[in-house]
Structure 1
Amino acid sequence: MLLNVSYTDQRITKKIDEAVGKPFTLKERWAMGGIGSPKLFITETSIGIRNLLILDNNLDQCNIELRPRGIILRFRSLLETYALVIPFYKLTLYKGDIGIYSIYRDHYYVKVKADTKAIQKFFIKLQNYKADNAPTSIDDL
């Protein structure tokens, strides 16, 4: 689900928390070695996200926040912040040949450059966490 998260709205916060869980505590973040990605440069997106990104002339960039049951991919357009909320059971990751990671959820996708070791390390952490914590049956949702 693609949401405008520029302003504090309890309904949107509740919707995000229900989909991917509440944010990790400070102790959990410290133990995991951080839950946020470095700055990711967007190379390609689905049409819905592209229509938002072309509204300004800034570099297309995003970041990813790891949550207990999914991820939140955030990007900015004009003065607004948007979040693509992806639970683990809808998250699909692909690694391309030329250092491009593709992140899919239903009909939304974002392709980002993985040109540094820090970005590659974050995606390995994300894949390992997803493998350990993704639901294994419909009852786990």
Structure 2
Amino acid sequence: MLLNISYNRPDIKAKIDAEVGATFNLLDRFKLGGIGSGKLFITSTSIDIHNLLVLDNNINTCGIELRPNGIIVSFRSLLETYALVIPFYKLNIYKGKAEEYSIYRDQYFIKIKALQKDKRTHQFMKKVLDYKLTKAPTNVDDL
């Protein structure tokens, strides 16, 4: 689900919380060693996201936030902030040969640059995959 999260709207916040869960509390953030990725550089995207990113001439970057039931990939275009909300059961992450990670949800995808020397990005993506393995539903009845 691709949403504009620039403004404080309770209905959008409720949609996000229903999809991926409320944000972690301070103790859980500390136990996980942080829930944010930092700045990631976007190399390519699906057409819907691409149409938003080409509206300005800035360098295309994004950030990933880990939630209890999924992740939120957020990026900016013009003066607006957008979020790609991905629950774990729809999340697919691939590590490509071209030093990039591909993050998929249905028809949406974002590819981010991950150079060999960028240990922080690799550690965060490993954290996301490990958390997905331990917390994601394994059966359709668990949804």
Describe the SS at the equivalent of 2:125.
helix
Can you give the 5+ residue segments of structure 1 that lack an aligned partner in the other structure? none
Letter in structure 1 aligned against 2:104: Y
Residues 1:17 and 2:14 are matched in the alignment: no
What is the CA-CA distance between 1:140 and the residue it aligns to? 1.4
Letter in structure 2 aligned against 1:119: T
What is the CA-CA distance between 1:43 and the residue it aligns to? 0.2
The two structures, once aligned, show a CA RMSD in angstroms of 0.5
Describe the SS at the equivalent of 1:136.
coil
Describe the SS at the equivalent of 1:24.
coil
Identity over the aligned pairs, expressed in percent? 61
Describe the SS at the equivalent of 1:27.
helix
The TM-score with structure 2 as length reference comes to: 0.97
Residues 1:29 and 2:29 are matched in the alignment: yes
Segments of 4+ moved more than 6 angstroms: none
Inter-partner Cα distance in structure 1 for 2:139 and 2:16: 21
Describe the SS at the equivalent of 2:101.
strand
Inter-partner Cα distance in structure 2 for 1:81 and 1:136: 32
The TM-score with structure 1 as length reference comes to: 0.99
Inter-partner Cα distance in structure 2 for 1:111 and 1:104: 9
Describe the SS at the equivalent of 1:17.
helix
Q: Counterpart of 1:112?
A: 112
Kindly provide the CA deviation profile for residues 1-26 of structure 1, in whole angstroms up to 9, marking residues without a partner as x. 00000000000000000000000000
Letter in structure 2 aligned against 1:91: L
- The number of aligned residues is 141
Inter-partner Cα distance in structure 2 for 1:85 and 1:69: 10
Alignment of 1:102-141 (within 5 A): 102-115=102-115, 116-141=118-143
Q: Counterpart of 1:72?
A: 72
Kindly provide the CA deviation profile for residues 75-98 of structure 1, in whole angstroms up to 9, marking residues without a partner as x. 000000000000000000000012
What is the CA-CA distance between 1:33 and the residue it aligns to? 0.2
Q: Counterpart of 1:42?
A: 42
